[in-house]
Amino acid sequence: MDPQNPFIYFQGRLEGCETLDELQTQVCLLARELLDATGATLVLVDGDKSHHVAEDSAFSLWLDCRFPLTQCLSGWAILHATTAVSPDVHNDQRTCREEDLPVPVHSAIMSPLGGEAPFGAIGACWTRAGVPNAQLVATLEKVATLTTVALRRFGVPSSASANVE
């Protein structure tokens, strides 16, 4: 990744994707690298659930899992159309049940995709506890913006309003 222009590099890699699957894989791989995260996950709204459609991680996270939007950090970010920062996912009431959390994950950020009407979220997690700094939050929010544009190119819904009950 180009340290001088990481977002230009990120955008270029996404623009080069020829399939939705390739795009989803690249988003997670690049987000993890850019944020120096233990893992990254891409979430899309599926009715009243958040569906983890892709991930890149040192260990299994939530790939292909679905959680109620009202019971997970990604859902909170989607429903509130704002970035969720969790310094300790094991003690955050916005996260899923303890048994659904990967044990090594301690802190996370989830940023919504789609602006005012989110249709998903991009998340990053770390094995260390503590508040992710403002630079990490801003970086993930920029990643979310670039990811939104790329997903729309593949016809991914631009609004969750038709999907969220």
Give the per-residue pLDDT at 97.
59
CA dihedral over 161, 48, 19, 81, signed as positive or negative: positive
Whether the CB-CB separation of 47 and 165 falls below 8 Å is answered with: yes
Q: What is the pLDDT of residues 23-59, one digit of tens each?
A: 999 999 999 999 999 999 999 999 999 999 999 998 8
Residue 130 has pLDDT above 50, yes or no: yes
Q: Kindly report the CATH number that applies to the domain delimited by 6-153.
A: 3.30.450.40
Q: What is the pLDDT of residues 88-103, one digit of tens each?
A: 888 888 876 555 665 6
Q: What is the pLDDT of residues 76-89, one digit of tens each?
A: 999 999 999 999 88
pTM for this structure?
0.89
Domain chopping of the chain, boundaries: 6-153
